[in-house]
Structure 1
Amino acid sequence: MASITVRNLDESVKNSLRVRAARHGWSMEQEIRQILQQTVAPEQTEQISFAERVNRRFANLTVESLPIPPRQITRTPPEFDQP
């Protein structure tokens, strides 16, 4: 887990955080954690399946845009009967 330090915070902001945390019944640190998660995390909370992510990733591809490699001659299998 990471930690940060916030300097030069107005005393009124600190008091408001303390009161807000008390209303929720947890520490100021937890209150700040909740505020940050609610503010930043919504961008990350969209839960999509792996199949949907793959579908989105390749949605704009067409069959014509995929290169088809030229066929190659298969190698000759080894012969184990010879010494």
Structure 2
Amino acid sequence: MRLEQWSRIMGKLAIDDEVLEEVAAAARSRGVSSESLAQELLLEGLRGHKSKESLRQLMEAIAAMTSRDVEQTDSVELLREDRDR
């Protein structure tokens, strides 16, 4: 579906033809319409967006799960150990 067709159905939204073709290809591979996939992707992107403040709070909550008294293993050591298995 071309941009001109979308504008009659959904309001105007300027999308590069290349992006529109990628959406159409992805929609075909999933067996859904381009419109439904575009809407899903847009909503997912908007709803998944976190504010800097909420990300900071999440990082602090994760950091609080580990006691400062516990010595942490260097991630490089863990990666080497996994690689050598």
Q: Structure 2-normalised TM-score?
A: 0.40
Q: Name the structure where helix makes up a greater proportion of residues.
A: 2
Larger radius of gyration: 1
Which gives a bigger RCO, structure 1 or 2 (Cα 8 Å, sep 6+)? Answer: 2
Q: Structure 1-normalised TM-score?
A: 0.41
